[in-house]
Amino acid sequence: MQKNKYPPGDLAIWIFILAELLVFAAFFSAYAFTRLKNVELFNHYQLTLDRNAALLNTLALITSSYFVVRAVADIREDDSKGCKRWLWAAIAMGAFFVLIKGGEYAHHFGAGVTLSSNAFYMFYLSLTFFHFMHVILGMVILAAVALKAGRGGYSADEHTGVETGASYWHMVDLVWLILFPLVYVMR
């Protein structure tokens, strides 16, 4: 099989993705080593999180990523309509994530939780909200790509925009795949 020299999409998005991943890696490591000094506190407050909601969100992001893979596959076969449909399905999954996560935030803020409540909530709120903003940005990017695909703006020969948006969205999924077990499960 012929291998490519560069990853799919615009190379600039990959520089951006690597920079973003570096920030999240620092966040994850800081969480783990701060927990090291506050094990009881982290274990106690972790139990206040809704693991069922986190499961639904994980399934939503994995499914949306899969839909984006199908969108890229369709445009490579010159199927703009199929590409557009898969992208809107992925955006719907993203909206589901935002809805569930928003519900979690409403619950915690309603209970008086803030960034300064304790070290666990500081990490939980800042990490998940930082990721949450990436989900929203990803949805905006996918919507722009879907609209252009709907107008026939991509083809089998030229679909860099689809691959660029897809790569960003997969990064959002990738970060959550580490965040979910680290913050909600590992104890």
Partner 1 sequence: MEQIQRKRWIRPCTLVYLVMIALTLITWWIGSTAKGGLELSLMVLLFALVKGQMVGDWFMGLHFVQGIWRWPILIWLFVPGTLIATAFVLSYGG
Q: Which long-range contacts (CB under 8 A, 24 or more apart) does 107-116 make?
A: 107/50, 108/48
- Contact residue for partner 1 among 23, 41, 43, 75 (CB under 8 A): 43
Single out the residue of 10, 16, 28, 119 in contact with partner 1 (rule: CB under 8 A): 28
What angle (nearest 5°) sits at the alpha carbon of residue 21, between those of residues 15 and 24?
150
Regarding 7 and contact with partner 1 (CB under 8 A), the answer is yes
Would you count residue 167 as binding partner 1 (CB under 8 A)? yes
Question: Pattern 62-101, binding to partner 1, x per CB under 8 A?
Answer: xx-xx-xxx-xx----------------------------
Nearest CA to 141 among 16, 4, 6?
16
Under rule CB under 8 A, residue 51 binds partner 1: yes
Q: Does 187 bind partner 1 (CB under 8 A)?
A: yes
Reference 186, options 123, 113, 109; nearest CA is: 123
Of 59 and 137, the one with the shorter C-beta distance to partner 1 is 59
User: Any idea of the CA torsion for 63, 132, 33, 109, to the nearest 10 degrees?
Assistant: -120
Position among 23, 29, 106, 140 found at the interface with partner 1 (CB under 8 A): 29
59 forms part of the interface with partner 1 (CB under 8 A): yes
**Helix or strand or coil: residue 158?**
coil
CA-based nearest residue to 159, from 86, 110, 96, 63: 86
Helices 11-37 and 119-150: crossing angle in degrees, nearest 10, is: 160
Closest distance to partner 1 from the beta carbon of 96 (Å):
15
Question: Does 180 participate in binding partner 1 (rule CB under 8 A)?
Answer: yes
H or E segment at 62? helix 51-76
Residues found near partner 1 in the complex (CB under 8 A):
1, 3-8, 14, 18, 21-22, 24-25, 28-29, 32-33, 35-36, 39, 43, 51-52, 54-55, 58-59, 62-63, 65-66, 68-70, 72-73, 163, 166-167, 170-171, 173-174, 177-178, 180-182, 184-187
